[in-house]
Chain A
Amino acid sequence: MPRRRPGTLLPLETEILEAALSILRSGEDAFHGFGLAQAMREQNDSRSLTAHGTLYKALGRLEDFGLLTSRWEDAEAAEGRPRRRLYELTAPGVRAAEQALAEQRDKAVRRSPRIAPGSA
């Protein structure tokens, strides 16, 4: 796992925030662990889901940073299945996710090949 520079997020944490933001923009206020793992799989076009340990450890860290909050799902809403822990992006979390997306777009623009007329 890459080392954290002070004041920065690890790539996995950024990925989680981005997936959480896309869930929020799709109209869902809260998300749960497996739903997030699935969203990240689709986002990365990956075959495997993020490991349990990696995912929940990162979610805990983001909560500690104040970028996410969490609560238990109501027992009635669970309808007999195990209760889910529901996470929500906080206002600083939304800002961090938007910033991460903007940085990603900037990088993509810088990486794209430049075609300058008459440069050959």
Chain B
Amino acid sequence: MTPERAAGLVVRWTRFYTRDLPAAISQRRVEEIAADLHDHIAHERAHGTEERRIALSILSRMIRGLSADASWRWRFRPSKGSLVKPLLAVLAAALGSAAVVLGEADDSPGLQLLGALFVIGAITFGVRTALRSR
């Protein structure tokens, strides 16, 4: 991977986590990161660093900062709604999976069918909740 490709990936990631934020905030972050990436590549090249190493260093900076990016975004745009619905969906999916496994162990196709319906319902509910919260 070339340093420019790695930098492109970082810019795409920055655009992604700044989406839906006020334009001034997202633009500042994207432009600031773009300038940083440009300076990083220019500095390393001036010091004769291998292209692959520059790309890896850029990716490493991105990956190590992922959680900070997420918490920074959270500060400006906390996710809507409570955590109750997503938790219910996860709980229902877990119950459904357990029913499928138990149904197989107990040779009970009825329990398995019920479990499968639970899992499908939980996934549908989870996706619907996620789409509505956007």
Majority-rule SS of B interface residues: helix
**Complex contacts, B34 vs chain A, CB 8 Å:** 82
B42: chain A residues at CB < 8 Å are 81
At the interface with chain B, which of A13-21, A55-63, A97-105? A55-63
> Which of B56-64, B77-85, B86-94, B112-120 makes up part of the contact surface?
B56-64
Q: Does B49 sit within 8 A of A, measured CB to CB?
A: no
Chain B residues closer than 8 Å to A83, beta-carbon distance: 31, 35
Q: Compute the total of residue contacts between A and B using a CB distance below 8 Å.
A: 78
Report the Cα distance A52→B58, complex, angstroms.
9
Docked pose: A55 CA to B64 CA in angstroms: 11
* Interface pair A33/B32, CB less than 8 Å apart: yes
| Number of residues on chain A facing chain B (CB within 8 A) | 23
A51 interface contact, C-beta 8 A: yes
Residue numbers in B under 8 Å from A56 (CB-CB): 29, 32-33, 72
Pick the residue among A35, A55, A81, A82 that contacts B65 (CB under 8 A). A55
Q: Which of B14, B38, B69 contacts A81 (CB 8 A)?
A: B38
Please give, as numbers and ranges, the residues of chain A lying within 8 Å of B67 by CB-CB distance.
53
Contacts of B52 in A (CB 8 A): none
Complex Cα–Cα for A84 and B72 (A) = 20
The reply to whether A82 and B43 form a contact with Cβ atoms under 8 Å apart is no
A91 interface contact, C-beta 8 A:
no
Which residues on A sit within 8 Å (CB–CB) of B20? none
CA distance A50 to B38 in the complex (A): 16
Residues of B within 8 A of A85 (CB): 28, 31-32, 35
* Residue B23 is within 8 A (CB to CB) of chain A in the complex: no
Q: Which residues of A contact B (CB under 8 A)?
A: 1, 32-35, 37-38, 48-57, 60, 81-85
